[in-house]
Structure 1
Amino acid sequence: MTWPMVFGVLSLMSFQLIDSAFIAQLGVLPLAAQGFTLPIGQLIIGVQVGLGIATTSVISIALGANQEKYSKQLGGLVLALGGVGTAVICLLLYLIRHPLLEMLGATADVMPIIDTYWIVWLLSSWVGAVLYFLYSVCRANGNTMLPGIMMVVTSILNLAFDPLFIFYFDMGIHGAAVATILAFGLGALYVVYRIAPKNYYSFDWKDLDLIKSIKSLFNIMMPAMTSQLMPPLAAMLSTKLLASFGTAAVAAWALGSRYEFFAIVAVLALTMSMPPMIGRYVGAKQADNIIKLVKVATAFIIISQLVIALITLAVSGGLSSLMTAEDNVEKILNMHLIIVPFSLAPLGVCILLVSVSNALGKPMRALLVSSLRLFLFFLPCLYAGAHFGGIQGLFYGAAIGNTLAGIFAWVAYQNTINKLQKMERLALHFHIQF
């Protein structure tokens, strides 16, 4: 079930990276304009993922209890709540765009571009959210093949549409958003066409307890969403700091962040595939197997991410020139690619262990690790690095913050697993005695 989604996630990462690469050819101001949308985009994605996790949980439980009609009603409820809720969020973000962008540090020269781009980009975000909720309903019903394939297809469509609308129709940065709207829109229409006969969703809610159903979704959604919303908050604070170094720094950070997402796709794959296995080991009281599994996964992450970092170091000059045509952006991006990727190994370990904590039934421990990663390690180190070393120090600060977060996550995991082993030994002791 995991591999289709792995290829899907990989294609989405490529999607975002290619989008940024095309926009980079337009100059530093359009790329900076896209950079200012990055933290807001993460905010919208945080809401999507929170509801998506709740969707998978609640619908799969209903199906497990043979409540097929209820599962279909929940599917319809998720699509309605997600579509309307995201539309309201996008509308609010449009209405408060000026104070929000000023808070992020947008300068007067980039504001006119963002002002016209904002509404088209928000529409593309809404279409993407609707498609994501359709994917969530599919996954909840055990269908990961269709979402995985469609993620690849929509990425290919976007790759084809981007140069067409950006350059051929001379729409500039607006063309990138239009390309996304068309790619995601066509994807959403096809998914609806494929799943409608399967009755994955229903809008017949006559006998549905709406309040109870919405509450069951929100009980799971809120903790998950809280965890997902912390990165965009940290991204907003990071963007504000980057803005103090100029629009070129914001543009380079946006490109570097896209590359980082692409580089850790193997880590994201593990966070999807390991929790079911860990859950089974927890149920069977086999903590030793959990330890072995996590050790193997951690070793894989450290080795693979160090290899990626070395490759990135070797090709950083050519890669940065390929990703942007602006000399000042290229120089800063090259600095990012040389320094930060070496910290993706401990960052990957931290991300994995947050997923493991959730699988061990310790969501608050996972939330704590996620919070401290950003607000105790990453952001303070980022600001300290910028203060003492300028833009280069900022990148070293990011790398140090990621490394400290990985170490802390490992210590927290060891504490959790030791307690689990102790509980197993006590249970075995009482079983033998009685």
Structure 2
Amino acid sequence: MSETSAYASLWSLRRQLFSQTWPMAIGVLSLLGFQLVDAAFVARLGTGPLAAQSFTFPVTFLMIGIQVGLGIAIAALISRTIGANDIERSRRLGSLVLIGGSVTVGVVAIVLWFAHGLIFAQLGASAENLKRITPYWALQLVANWLSALLYFGYTLFRAHNKTRLPGMLMVLTSLCNLALDPLMIFGWGPIGGFGLPGAAIATIIAFLIGLVILVWRLSDQDWLSLSGLGAEARRSTRPFATIAGPAMISQLMPPLAAMTATGLVATLGDPAVAAWGLQSRLETMSLMVVLGLTMSLPPWLGHCYGANNWPRIRALTHIAFQAVLIWQLVFGIAMAIAAPWVAGALAGNPTVQHDLTQLIRFMLPSYALLGICMIVVSASNALGWPVRAMLISFARLFVCYLPCVAAGVFAGSMTTTALGALAGNILAGVMAWLIFRASLAGVDDEGQRRS
């Protein structure tokens, strides 16, 4: 291949990857943006309700981790069967994920409801905060379950390389939630609001609207089949578990680490927890390109894996790394400069504003390296290295991130806590990139392990 044709091919890959990623990135931005606005509305109720909501974030991420782990496995299997041109099996797998996923997440929601008192007490919530959390959490669990149903539907579209509808539905549900939030939280005119539980009610209504549209659009696709599900479940259990087990563990590690970090930060007081909760919303929103790539890239890699096209796999991951580094550095530095104004817009309490400013300044630029680590984990799952992905996730959180955050908390301020998180993200990104580079170097262009 000539240099000109190679450049043209690389440019074509960039354009295709961008076309697959931008709907998901915009969707993620809108979805996470409404969560940030949600927290900003709650902040107007006072530091107490904001701290109460912040305690629920890591447990919500626990549920999200389970659904994402299931989604990773099913997207990998479906995309590989499509790449191998086994369309009928992909239909059966699509039906299995909708049925099995909804039941699994529903059971998890029930368990988390009955255990919520113990969980939030262990996280450091006071008795007063527990009184605020209980009515909100009952409704938020319903919202989390509906979110999982939407996510599994999105997974089917992504596995077929159709990302536009999921992106559009994320935007739509976000706008609905944004419109409903002030009405449900504060009320309108003589009609009183529901306070903190109103935030969950708004989310439930928004997700129900999204589900109606998703079911309608799925009915137009020939992606599902109810025949032979029992035999397919038996056939797919082992390959599914091989991917889903490590992937789910990988996805459960971040919320478990977030719960641990929240417990550590809670020793610094309610304003610190409130600032940490707002920062967690900013973190996920600032990673919109990374999250978009983790949704659009794996199915494409799965197709390439099924077709044994390793040169394209290398090119796609290289493009993804470039995009992540450039975007996260530019966005992180801009946010660090604007930190005082962003904190002022999100929080009314001066102490919370100060703590949030420090977190933004030091943590957001480090997400360039965190993003690299997230892409490595996502790509490794798609390429048949789920155990490796799980070990990278473990090392990122429990070897790099949490020890550094703990050191910052023990130093006694949110500034040192932010510096600790920055150091942990840098260590994790460098570690993940070195491991993934070595993994790709160990496979030749025909997919055979080099001696």
TM norm structure 2? 0.86
Residue 97 of structure 1 is matched in structure 2 by 116
Whether 1:165 and 2:188 are equivalent positions in the alignment is no
2:120 matches 1:120: no
Residue 157 of structure 1, CA deviation: 0.7
Q: 1:138 aligns with which of 157, 168, 181?
A: 157
Aligned to 1:192: 215
Q: Distance in 1 between matches of 2:248 and 2:204?
A: 25
Does the Cα contact within 8 Å between 2:308 and 2:447 map onto a contact in 1? Answer: no
CA RMSD, Structure 1 to Structure 2 (Å):
2.9
CA distance in 2 between partners of 1:258 and 1:209 (Å) = 39
The aligned counterpart of 2:418 is: 395
Amino acid at match of 2:51: A
For residues 48 and 28 of structure 1, the distance between their equivalents in structure 2, rounded to whole angstroms, comes to 31
Q: Which runs of 5+ in 1 are unaligned?
A: none
Where in structure 2 are there 5+ consecutive unaligned residues?
1-19
1:346 aligned to which of 369, 375, 387: 369
Are residue 42 (structure 1) and residue 65 (structure 2) matched? no
Q: Which residue of 1 aligns with 2:15?
A: none
Is the counterpart of residue 260 in structure 1 residue 283 in structure 2? yes
Conservation of the 8 A alpha-carbon contact between 1:369 and 1:409: yes
Structure 2 Cα separation of the partners of residues 171 and 135 of structure 1 = 31
Aligned residues: 426
Measure, in 1, the Cα distance between the counterparts of 2:213 and 2:379. Answer: 34
Report which stretch shifted further, 245-254 or 3-12. Answer: 3-12
Sort the Cα spacing of 1:37 and 1:342 in 2 relative to 1 into closer, same or farther, 3 A.
same
Pairing 1:22–2:45 present: no
Is 1:410 the counterpart of 2:433? The answer is yes
Q: Deviations over 1:78-128 (max 9, x none)?
A: 222222221111111111111111111111221100012110111111111
Work out whether residues 138 and 200 of structure 1, in 8 Å CA contact, stay in contact via their aligned partners in 2. Answer: no
Counterpart for residue 154 of structure 1: 173
2:103 and 2:383 map into 1 onto residues whose CA distance is 34
Cα-to-partner distance string for 1:121-176 (whole Å, 9 max, x where unaligned): 11111111111122223333443222121111111111111111111241111111
Q: Deviations over 1:328-386 (max 9, x none)?
A: 22121111112211211221222223334445543333222211010001000111111
Q: Kindly indicate whether residue 93 of structure 2 is the aligned counterpart of residue 77 of structure 1.
A: no
Name the CA distance, whole Å, in 2 between partners of 1:63 and 1:268: 23
Query: How far does residue 3 in structure 1 lie from its aligned partner after superposition?
Result: 2.9
C-alpha distance in structure 1 between counterparts of 2:399 and 2:449, whole Å: 35
Give the C-alpha shift of residue 415 in structure 1. 2.6
**What's 2:378 paired with?**
355
Q: Which amino acid aligns with 1:370?
A: S
Moved more, 13-22 or 60-69: 60-69
Output one character per residue of 1:216-268: Cα deviation in whole Å (capped at 9) or x when no partner: 53333212111111101101100110111112111111111111111122223
Cα drift, residue 59 of structure 1: 3.5
Q: How does 1:354-393 map onto structure 2 within 5 Å?
A: 354-393=377-416
Residue number among 259, 273, 276 corresponding to 1:250 in the alignment: 273
User: In the alignment, is the contact (CA less than 8 A) between 1:32 and 1:248 conserved in 2?
Assistant: yes
SS at match of 1:105: coil
Q: Kindly indicate whether residue 245 of structure 2 is the aligned counterpart of residue 226 of structure 1.
A: no
Of the structure 1 ranges 352-361 and 367-376, higher mean CA displacement relative to structure 2 is found in 352-361
If the length of structure 1 is used for normalisation, what is the TM-score? Answer: 0.89
The SS at the match of 2:264 is helix
Matched, 1:109 2:128: yes
